[in-house]
Structure 1
Amino acid sequence: MTALRLDPGDNVACLLRAHRAGERPASRDGPLPALSGDVPLGHKVAIRDIAAGAPVIKYGVSIGHATRDIAPGDHVHLHNLAGAEL
């Protein structure tokens, strides 16, 4: 297992090691989409399409919203994610 997805509603998984473009991280539910680019340890990757403005769900909780369309296998970080307002 090289990626963590805790909740079935999650649309991202957290990497347990760095991955290179083209690799398919493995979660307890099986392989995830091939990565579109290199992704560092601990960062998030999309496991399904996330439309611009849609919530990004990690561990069953919204951690913000997509600032642009995000495809499966894309790195999800500050360049395409805005935090939730408190």
Structure 2
Amino acid sequence: MTDPRLILLNPEDNCLVAGARLMAGTRLDIEGETVTLAKTIDLGHKVARRALAKDEKVLRYGAVIGHVTADVVRGEHLHTHNLESDYLPTYTHDAGHAFVQH
């Protein structure tokens, strides 16, 4: 069983979403394991559903959203300090300069 303040968006996801602001020191059950949060996790932020190894892909909505840049333990906050996006830009601001008006 997982704490109801954590939302699983897709059964394949290896992250959960905080459905409330979770303060540092909060104890949460994640799939039968109790974890204590080291840091406050804001509403809508991601939490590791299980331990993740450095460079492992992070799945949200069943799709890859990035990879972890360091080993992560279950219940750890997933954000810019340990998660890097794998999205490739489809355009750049400079691309607009290729169009010339006469």
Q: What TM-score, normalized to structure 1?
A: 0.83
Q: Any residues of structure 2 matched to 1:4-83 within 5 Å, and which?
A: 4-25=7-28, 31-32=29-30, 33-34=34-35, 35-83=37-85
Partner residue of 1:28?
none
Preserved contact between residue 54 and residue 72 of structure 2 (Cα < 8 Å): yes
Residue correspondences, number: 81
Question: Which residue identity does 2:13 align to in structure 1?
Answer: D
Task: Specify which structure has the bigger relative contact order, considering alpha-carbon pairs within 8 angstroms and separated by 6 or more residues.
Answer: 1
5+ residue gaps, structure 1, are: 26-30
Preserved contact between residue 53 and residue 68 of structure 2 (Cα < 8 Å): yes
Mapped partners of 1:79, 1:11: distance in 2:
18
The alpha-carbon distance between structure 1 residues 52 and 78, as it changes in their structure 2 partners (threshold 3 A), is same
Percent of aligned pairs sharing the same letter: 38
Task: Point out 4+ residue stretches in structure 1 off by more than 4 angstroms.
Answer: none
Mapped partners of 2:73, 2:80: distance in 1:
15
**Cα-to-partner distance string for 1:63-85 (whole Å, 9 max, x where unaligned):** 00000111101100000000013
Question: Which residue identity does 1:62 align to in structure 2?
Answer: V
Q: What TM-score, normalized to structure 2?
A: 0.71
